[in-house]
């Protein structure tokens, strides 16, 4: 309702010169200002102290240092007398009706206020108990879920550790078997090479032993003759 009143007032003040334009701009900035993201303070569970049912205690504490104890009462009485003497507020039948309604409201508050307050407190406590029960149940279920997850992670870690050890041992066995196979292959190659060397030496000795001195002389003479013929042929090709 207040926002509608501001909009209606702003529309009526559009053609009222600079003052109206300033008010319109102020109303627009009031509705278009960005929302504050600061955290809101918690709401108080109980209301502040008041006197005579409607006057806040802070007002009296504010006036005490300057006016004393009777200052707030004198201020209120003076304002009431001033409004009545200047006819700012005129007493009529509505005043008596408001006083009667106020008296009925005060009586109702004094009479039924404690019982209604106790009933409201009881309902609030029941709601808070239910909310706390739901909260505790949620916390317990989440705690149990966290513990189960921790146990599952522990089991997974143990299984992973066992798998790692198994793979390490399998790799070690594979390397050991490969090393032994390489040793057997190297040993077989060594035996084969020794056998070949022994066979070559045996054949060489047999051939040398089968050659007679006469055959050796003839072979040497034949080699010398071949070398001389080869030398003559080389000289003839060089002369040509």
Residue 125 has which token pair? Answer: 């406590």
Rounded Cα gap, residues 116 and 113, in angstroms? 5
Global pTM value: 0.39
Q: What is the pLDDT of residue 166?
A: 94
The per-residue pLDDT for 13 is 42
Domain residue ranges of the chain, discontinuous segments joined by +: 50-87
Q: Supply the pLDDT for residue 230.
A: 85
3-state SS assignment for residue 50: strand
Predicted confidence at residue 146, as pLDDT, reads: 94
Q: How is residue 14 annotated by DSSP?
A: T
* pLDDT recorded at residue 18: 43
Long-range contacts at 229-237 (CB < 8 A, ≥ 24 apart): none
Residue ranges in the chain whose pLDDT is less than 50: 1-10, 12-31
């Amino acid at each position: 309702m207040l926002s509608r009143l501001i909009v209606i007032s702003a529309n009526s003040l559009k053609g009222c010169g600079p003052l109206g334009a300033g008010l319109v701009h102020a109303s627009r900035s009031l509705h278009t200002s960005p929302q504050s993201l600061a955290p809101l303070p918690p709401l108080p569970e109980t209301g502040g102290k008041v006197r005579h049912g409607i006057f806040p205690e802070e007002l009296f504490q504010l006036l005490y240092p300057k006016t004393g104890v009777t200052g707030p009462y004198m201020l209120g009485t003076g304002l009431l007398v001033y409004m009545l003497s200047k006819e700012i507020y005129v007493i009529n039948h509505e005043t008596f009706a408001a006083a009667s309604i106020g008296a009925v409201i005060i009586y109702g508050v004094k009479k039924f206020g404690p019982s209604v307050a106790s009933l409201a407190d009881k309902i609030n406590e029941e709601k808070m108990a239910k909310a706390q029960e739901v909260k505790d149940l949620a916390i317990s279920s989440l705690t149990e879920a966290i513990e189960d997850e921790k146990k599952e992670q522990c089991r997974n870690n143990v299984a992973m550790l066992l798998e790692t050890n198994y793979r390490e041992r399998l790799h070690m066995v594979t390397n050991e078997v490969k090393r032994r196979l390489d040793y057997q292959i190297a040993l077989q190659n060594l035996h084969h090479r020794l056998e070949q060397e022994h066979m070559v030496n045996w054949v060489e000795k047999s051939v040398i032993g089968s050659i007679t001195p006469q055959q050796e002389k003839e072979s040497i003479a034949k080699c010398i003759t071949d070398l001389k013929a080869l030398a003559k042929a080389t000289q003839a090709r060089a002369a040509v």
